[in-house]
Amino acid sequence: MSKKIVISIVEIVVITVASFVWWQWRPQQSPKYTGPTEKVTIGSYTGEYVALVYVADEKGYFKDEGIDLEIRPYEYGILTIPDVVNGVIDIGLANEFAPVVRSFDSPKLRILASIDQTNSYELIARRDHGINRPADLKGKKIGIPKNSQSEFFLGTFLTFSHLFLKDVEVVYVKPSNLENAMVSGTIDATLIWPPLSFNITKKLGTNAVVWPAQSGQDAYFVLIGSEDLVKKKSQVIERMLRALVKAEEFVKNNTLEAKTIVMRRTKTNEEYIKSVWPSNIFKVSLEQAMVLTMEGAARWAIKNKLTDKTTVPNYLNFVYLDALEKVKPEAITIVH
């Protein structure tokens, strides 16, 4: 047998084996949904953390999955939780601290997935109030929304700065009033998320001193449902997560268009989106780090009397894994 013939046979075998392997491991396309359309109501703050929802809605991914989505605006995430518990909305969107605060009294809350990891919270203080370094916060008025993640991050920020909550005067201010409180000088500092942090910093100009406020700890923006929802509408949740995973891929591959969609939906501009986009990781996941963060936040809430309970809940009981396991199992790192 000639050398050329041997090489040809080897090439044919290699191509055949490669084709077989590709066929076995080729990306599987989900069958197109052909069932009835289902109405789903989401309550959320209207910022860039919701990017995957906006993209999935804009690109028609929810419709492709038989979901008629309604997004109801809330001032901030924790305000959605009572409406989830009472069945006013199907799903709330908030950071993971919101279900932690409510978990002590609402054991039937369920986290369906995280859709963003962010490191965008900032502590902003006024230089003209004598604040140039974290130690100068002692005795100052710091405005934050009550029961928000700002409260938790303020506690950890002060700890890393060798201060305690009792060393400052915490003033509870609604998010809608924070900008005016800072600009007018009613408070000395605030710890808040964008776009409020962005707007306040811009208005104060050189009078603003700004520090990253999360002490290297990500916040997770999560979809929150109820035990009743996951029992009755598990397939709807699965289809919803499938739409969001499609949006995740779109954002990765079409960043400019995704930013344009988010700018339009949030009524912000290119300068703002450019400043906040790098602080976010838009992906659908359920990570072990999120559970550990929740446990730490619960211990902090107990220590600082945000609850009269004394035991940290088992947050594995609050996470609904089934839907994401069917849609994107590799996105789950929670040990279970």
Give the end of a domain, one of 212, 246, 276.
212
- In this prediction, residue 34 carries a pLDDT of 75
Residue 127 falls within a domain, yes or no? Answer: yes
Indicate which CATH number applies to the domain containing 201: 3.40.190.10
Give the end of a domain, one of 186, 212, 238.
212
pLDDT-based confidence at residue 26 (cuts at 50, 70, 90): very low
Helix (H) or strand (E) holding 209: strand 208-212
Tell me the average pLDDT of the chain: 92
- Both 226 and 193 in one domain: the answer is no
Average pLDDT over residues 69-74: 96
Q: Which domain holds residue 243?
A: 38-118+219-331
* Confidence check: pLDDT of 4 > 90: no
* Confidence check: pLDDT of 27 > 50: no
247 CA to centre of own chain: 15
- Both 140 and 179 in one domain: the answer is yes
What are the beta bridge partners of residue 227? none
- Both 249 and 130 in one domain: the answer is no
| Count: domains in the chain | 2
Beta carbons of 200 and 179 less than 8 angstroms apart: yes
Helix (H) or strand (E) holding 281: strand 280-281
Beta carbons of 95 and 222 less than 8 angstroms apart: yes
pTM to 2 decimal places: 0.87
pLDDT-based confidence at residue 12 (cuts at 50, 70, 90): low
- Peptide bond before 73: cis, by omega within 30 degrees of 0? no
- Both 133 and 93 in one domain: the answer is no
* Confidence check: pLDDT of 152 > 80: yes
- Both 227 and 309 in one domain: the answer is yes
* Confidence check: pLDDT of 325 > 90: yes
Per residue in 257-273, pLDDT (tens digit) is: 999 999 999 999 999 99
- Both 223 and 326 in one domain: the answer is yes
- Both 72 and 107 in one domain: the answer is yes
At 6, list the tokens: 């041997």
Residue 235 falls within a domain, yes or no? Answer: yes
Helices 196-204 and 175-184: crossing angle in degrees, nearest 10, is: 10
Per residue in 280-321, pLDDT (tens digit) is: 999 999 999 999 999 999 999 999 888 899 999 999 999 999
Residue 55 falls within a domain, yes or no? Answer: yes
Give the end of a domain, one of 160, 177, 212.
212
- In this prediction, residue 118 carries a pLDDT of 96
